[in-house]
Amino acid sequence: MTKSVSVGEEKHAPDRLLTPRRSRTLAILVALVVGLVVCYFLAVPFLPALTWALVLTVMFRPLHRRIEKRLRYPEAAAAATVAIASFVVAVPLTFMAERLVNEAAKGAQIVEEAVRSGTWRDALANYPRLAPVVVWIETQLDLAGIAGSATSWLTNFSASFVRGSVAQIVDAILTFYFLFYFLRDGQQALGALKEYSPLSSQEMNRLFTRVNETVQAVVFGTVAVAAVQGAMGGLIFWLLGLPAPVVWGLAMGLLAVVPVLGAFIVWLPAALSLALGGEWGKALILVAWGAGVVATIDNLLYPIFVGDRLKLHTLTAFMSMIGGIIVFGSAGLVIGPVAFTVTLLLLDIWRRHNSNPEA
């Protein structure tokens, strides 16, 4: 009987004690978690560049495959694709954004001078009903001070934009640096992820497909909404008889793509110019259209465009995009939807495993 008890104790002992094998597994797991946390903090400074490099990789992958067929060396093919991507994306956006920000600052200075000199009051002579309202506003508000503050803000923003262009150049260089290796070594990286992932090869393929579809949907939604904003802005410029409506519509569309900036950099100075020129009716129409249509249409259309392509509810798509921007900055425009879609896919895989444990 004693012998049977000791055997039983020996049989259950490994279940209660931390065996060397379990200790080794636990140590590896702890070291892995620590390593992942450290790697996360190391990667955070490069997160925007990595995100936009991923976006460019997805968008220029078809072109890169065609170039690969013509060039024998992978390095040459990747370098050619990076050169084309930088010419198509970086050059026009950087030139347009910096130039328009500077123009906005100059326009604000002109407005401040007009307000301080009082010449804008002469424009009210043709609007006797509007004059008392504007005069009352002037007595209640320090228009000159407000104009000066706006001028200072725009001037400082323009200066910081130019100074920040050094950091932006560094980010752009890193983006295209990462893009080169994503294009050249992308297949090897995906293969390594499959080897180390606990998911099956089929499940990893589904994951890669969803990430690819998400990035394409975000880019499509951004470009589509920017095109609509540019068209709406150009339309109101044409209806009001403002010069070069096509050019300024294109400018508003490009600015709508750039994070932080927006179409208001074009239509707001135009409205102020109309007001100072005595065309108050056109100025009010432009402000109402710009603030009520151009500036808000992206909040309505973007979740619809992206949500439909991602097969997400409009509210979920909206939360993923806005929440991503709040948490991660401009890169969150991509990171947020990708995180949502990947999480939903992993939940679906988990559900399938639980419903069919043998799968």
Residues 195 and 121: their CA atoms lie apart, in Å, by: 73
Q: What is the pLDDT of residue 97?
A: 60
Q: What is the pLDDT of residue 293?
A: 81
pLDDT over 70, % of the chain: 70
Instruction: Tell me what the mean pLDDT of segment 273-281 comes to.
Output: 73
Q: What is the pLDDT of residue 323?
A: 84
The answer to whether residue 120 scores a pLDDT higher than 60 is: no
Sequence-separated (6 or more) residues with CB below 8 Å from residue 67: 77, 80, 81
Residues 119 and 115: their CA atoms lie apart, in Å, by: 7
Contact 102, 254 (CB under 8 A): no
Residues 99 and 110: their CA atoms lie apart, in Å, by: 17
Residues 258 and 96: their CA atoms lie apart, in Å, by: 10
**Among 271, 265, 261, which residue's Cα sits nearest to residue 236?**
271
Contact 324, 333 (CB under 8 A): yes
Q: Between 101 and 71, name the one with better pLDDT.
A: 71
Residues 213 and 337: their CA atoms lie apart, in Å, by: 10
Query: Which of the residue ranges 49-58, 219-228, 348-357 would you say has the lowest mean pLDDT?
Result: 348-357
Q: Between 49 and 110, name the one with better pLDDT.
A: 49
Instruction: Tell me what the mean pLDDT of segment 299-321 comes to.
Output: 75
Rounded to a whole number, what is the distance in angstroms from the first to the last CA of the chain? 44
Instruction: Tell me what the mean pLDDT of segment 187-211 comes to.
Output: 85
Contact 177, 56 (CB under 8 A): no
Instruction: Tell me what the mean pLDDT of segment 17-35 comes to.
Output: 78
Contact 284, 134 (CB under 8 A): no
Q: What is the pLDDT of residue 2?
A: 47
Instruction: Kindly report, residue by residue over 278-289, the tens digit of the pLDDT.
Output: 677 788 888 888
Q: What is the pLDDT of residue 241?
A: 84
**pLDDT grade, residue 219 (50/70/90)?**
confident
**pLDDT grade, residue 112 (50/70/90)?**
low
User: Angle at the Cα of 220 (from 254 to 305), degrees rounded to 5?
Assistant: 110
Contact 347, 357 (CB under 8 A): no
pTM above the 0.75 mark? Answer: no
DSSP, collapsed to helix, strand or coil, labels residue 127 as: coil
Instruction: Tell me what the mean pLDDT of segment 185-199 comes to.
Output: 84
Residues 354 and 359: their CA atoms lie apart, in Å, by: 9
Q: Encoding tokens for residue 249?
A: 């519509």
Q: What is the pLDDT of residue 10?
A: 47
Q: Between 139 and 179, name the one with better pLDDT.
A: 179
Q: Encoding tokens for residue 65?
A: 């495959």
Average pLDDT, the chain: 76
Q: Between 271 and 101, name the one with better pLDDT.
A: 271
Instruction: Tell me what the mean pLDDT of segment 319-336 comes to.
Output: 82
**pLDDT grade, residue 147 (50/70/90)?**
low
Q: What is the pLDDT of residue 180?
A: 92
The answer to whether residue 349 scores a pLDDT higher than 80 is: yes
**pLDDT grade, residue 1 (50/70/90)?**
very low
